[in-house]
Structure formats: C-alpha cells, structure tokens
Chains A and B, each alone.
Chain A
Amino acid sequence: RKEVEQDPGPFNVPEGATVAFNCTYSNSASQSFFWYRQDCRKEPKLLMSVYSSGNEDGRFTAQLNRASQYISLLIRDSKLSDSATYLCVQRAAGNKLTFGGGTRVLVKP
C-alpha cells in the first residue's frame, strides 16, 4: 500500500459547483498534512496546511480524519482557475515529507 494515496481523477467539475476529494495515508504516526496545488508544467505551491480541527481558507476547506486516516479538500463555487493537480503531503516523524500522486481537477464552463 502506498504511503499517501490519491484518486488521480480527473474530476470534471462544472463552474460554480462544489468538488471534494480525499487522500488516504498509511502511516498513523503522521504528524501534519498539507495540500499543494500544481498547475500544468509549473511547480507545486502550498495551498493550505491541514489542522486537526479542520480549517477553511475562502472557498477551500480541509479536513483531517485521524481515525480513518484520510484528509479531504473541498472546493466551493469552483472557478476555471481552480483547474490544477492537487497534491496531498504528509509529514511524519523525522520530518519526512511524502507526496501523493495528485488529484487532477478540471473546471469547465
């Protein structure tokens, strides 16, 4: 089983709709989590950290479920500019960062 697993997608989303996707992790000792966004042929950029209580940043909401070992990202009121690959990242003991393969989101008019 991969340490960090994501549905590769693509998730085809009508503009204005809500989309949500998960990332599962196998290392129960994982200490923190992040969502990065990567546009086509560009570098990954930090979207948001994920806190135990869940957190929101504008149209984006991240949740962490330690019991079931997954994190989620929800995007409300999708914009065309939200089209990207979303990378799930876990930080485990020893500060080891592990990236998931990414979930591709395509927002269409």
Chain B
Amino acid sequence: ETGVTQTPRHLVMGMTNKKSLKCEQHLGHNAMYWYKQSAKKPLELMFVYNFKEQTENNSVPSRFSPECPNSSHLFLHLHTLQPEDSALYLCASSAGTGVSGANVLTFGAGSRLTVL
C-alpha cells in the first residue's frame, strides 16, 4: 500500500458511456497528477494539480475531464472515449511541485481502462 488509492482497478466501458476514475492520497501531499501508460510507450503526463488548482494540462482531449475538490482527492471523468484511450491510468502525488528532492512522485496502483 503506497498511500495512494485508485478505484476502480479495472474498468470496461463503451464509447458512449460516462465513467469516473477516483484517486485518494493519505500522505498529506499537496500535488496530484494523472498519467497515462499505454503499451510500449513512456508514461504520459496528463494533468497536474497543486493545492487543488490545475497547473498543467498536457494538451489532453476534452473527453478527459479532471476534478480536484481538495488536495487529497482527484477524479478523472471520462465520456465518449475512443478505443485508443484504453490504457493504464496512474494517479500520483507529491509533497509539492518544486524542484526539491522531497517532491518525488508516489503512484497509485492504477486503473486499467478498456474502451470497447
């Protein structure tokens, strides 16, 4: 248990469905992230939130909609996804977003998404 919990662990959805991924961290961190990991590709940063304010959107399509109600919770709302969006979605948190050595990422176990 890393202190970052993601649910659901597995999700299968059709292209017309609406679903949400949830992430919760119990580490007292202030920054939270969504990453996408596709087969045979490096991790891709999607969104960064620091003190629940979005600080980075890495040109992510609008069918992915993040929500950060507080520093401990992060959601990724999904709608009208495409089959190529099938991937492992990883949530991470860090103490902050500066260059301090303390700001390393702690990842959750991921939500494996399959879009039919």
- Chain A residues within 8 Å of B, Cβ to Cβ: 4, 8, 31-32, 34, 42-46, 49, 87, 91, 95-102
If over half of A's interface residues share one DSSP class (helix, strand or loop), that class is named, otherwise mixed; here it is strand
B61 touches A (CB below 8 Å): no
B43 in contact with A34 (CB, 8 Å) = no
Chain B residues with Cβ below 8 Å from A42 are: 109-110
A101 in contact with B42 (CB, 8 Å) = yes
- Chain B residues within 8 Å of A, Cβ to Cβ: 2, 40-43, 45, 90, 97-99, 101, 103-110
Chain A residues with Cβ below 8 Å from B103 are: 95
Closest to B56 in A: A96
If over half of B's interface residues share one DSSP class (helix, strand or loop), that class is named, otherwise mixed; here it is loop
A95 in contact with B107 (CB, 8 Å) = no
Given pairs A43-B107, A101-B42, 20 additional interface contacts (CB within 8 A): A4-B42, A31-B99, A32-B99, A32-B101, A34-B104, A43-B90, A43-B108, A43-B109, A43-B110, A44-B105, A46-B104, A49-B101, A49-B104, A87-B43, A95-B98, A95-B103, A97-B45, A97-B105, A99-B42, A101-B40
Chain A residues with Cβ below 8 Å from B43 are: 44, 87, 99
Interchain nearest-CB distance for A16 vs B (Å): 30
Chain A residues with Cβ below 8 Å from B90 are: 43-44
- Report which of B99, B101, B106, B108 forms a contact with A95, defined as CB distance below 8 A: B99
Chain B residues with Cβ below 8 Å from A87 are: 42-43
Closest to A95 in B: B97
Closest to B106 in A: A46
Chain B residues with Cβ below 8 Å from A31 are: 99
